[in-house]
Amino acid sequence: MANEILVLAESRGKEVRRITFECMAAAQSLAAGKPGWEVCAAVAGPAASGIAEVLSARGVSRVWLHENARLASYSTAAFARAYAELVRDIRPRIVLAGATFLGRDLMPRLAARLNAGLCTDCIELRLDENGRLHVRRPMFLDKILADVEFTREGPQLATLRPNLFAPAPESAVRASIIPWKAEIGPEDLRAVVREVVQTAGQSLDLTEADIIVSGGRSMKCAENFRILQELAGVLGAAVGASRAAVDAGYAPHSMQVGLTGKTVTPKLYIACGISGAVQHLAGMRGSRCIVAVNSDAQAPIFRVADYGIVGDLYQVVPLLAAELEKALSK
């Protein structure tokens, strides 16, 4: 088994998602100062050659490429088969991917095919002297941190929580790009994506945003989310929502932050009219700075907030947007 750390690239169309570069940076940190250890990346799909060129300039040794028109849309079985064949051939010690919707779906299937161990949603990684991976991951709605050690032989698989590692910088040195073959048949494409509909008005992915402005049930209607969108426009932020707001029809599910929505770890999270239910806290507790705006001084959100404003969000948020616009224009 090679002392190789393999990063599975994730893309949207022809664009590499930021979490891929974060995984590459985490892998490079693991390999740093350890003779014989290398970081590689793998990409599969019809536009894989263009993505491979981008990956090759991020400080990796090799980029494995599988260009296949049958992988135009994500399919769990097809992608798991393609990557499983690669892992069996090159036998890396560690395989990393993002703890995104795709990573959470793909990596368990890949681990099952490889009969390998998997640890998900990791926030810290380290290698011991025997090349075994040790990780730290939140559990029980982020209330405790668990230290996990891989003990079984074979590849060690892990997914990384987004926004915790700085993306790997570009390098002047280009890595070699090596094609690999995988037999993808009709039996691997039992579910086929016919259409992908982009949510209107949301250009920045919540899981990759440095700043998020979220609204809860107190927004009262979908039209009132424009108040948050104005503040988000000043800050260059993404707009999120609590489950209560989504269930009430104020926002689409793609904007939901929480246990049954997206887990986010931005630098700044502004919660407007969100009470702070456990389900919501599970999705944003890892934010570096939390600002809460709520008219109820006893709202649970204030227990986790770094800064709290007790007041009517319809008065506070526009004032906050105006003052921030003045400050940022100087």
Predicted confidence (pLDDT) per residue in 192-207, tens digit? 777 777 665 556 788 8
- The residues near 208 (Cβ < 8 Å, ≥ 6 apart) are 17, 18, 19, 162, 163
Give percent of the chain above pLDDT 90: 74
Measure the CA–CA gap between 261 and 278, rounded to whole angstroms: 13
Q: Where do the domains of the chain lie, and which CATH numbers do they carry?
A: 2-188 (3.40.50.620), 206-329 (3.40.50.1220)
Find out whether 143 and 46 touch, Cβ atoms under 8 Å.
no
Name the residue with higher pLDDT: 108 or 165: 108
**pLDDT (0 to 100) of residue 79:** 94
**pLDDT (0 to 100) of residue 198:** 65
Q: Mean pLDDT in the chain?
A: 92
List the one residue out of 84, 90, 107, 106 whose CA is nearest residue 178. 90
CA 270 from chain centre, in angstroms, equals 19
SS3 36: coil
For residue 128, CA distances in Å to 4, 8, 149 come to 15, 23, 10
pLDDT at 73 over 70: yes
List the one residue out of 22, 3, 24 whose CA is nearest residue 127. 3
Name the residue with higher pLDDT: 140 or 149: 149
The torsion region of residue 75 among left (phi > 0), alpha (psi -120 to 50) and beta comes to beta
List the one residue out of 280, 306, 278, 308 whose CA is nearest residue 294. 308
CA angle at 22 for the pair 291 and 148, rounded to the nearest 5°: 85
pLDDT at 1 over 80: no
pLDDT band at 18 (very low <50, low <70, confident <90, very high): very high
The alpha-helical segments, DSSP class H, found in 179-236 are 225-235
For range 9-38, the mean pLDDT: 92
For range 233-241, the mean pLDDT: 95
Residue 267, amino acid: K
**pLDDT (0 to 100) of residue 201:** 52
What's the pLDDT tens digit per position in 295-314? Answer: 999 999 999 999 999 999 99
List the one residue out of 327, 137, 23, 236 whose CA is nearest residue 43. 23
What's the pLDDT tens digit per position in 259-275? Answer: 889 989 899 999 999 99
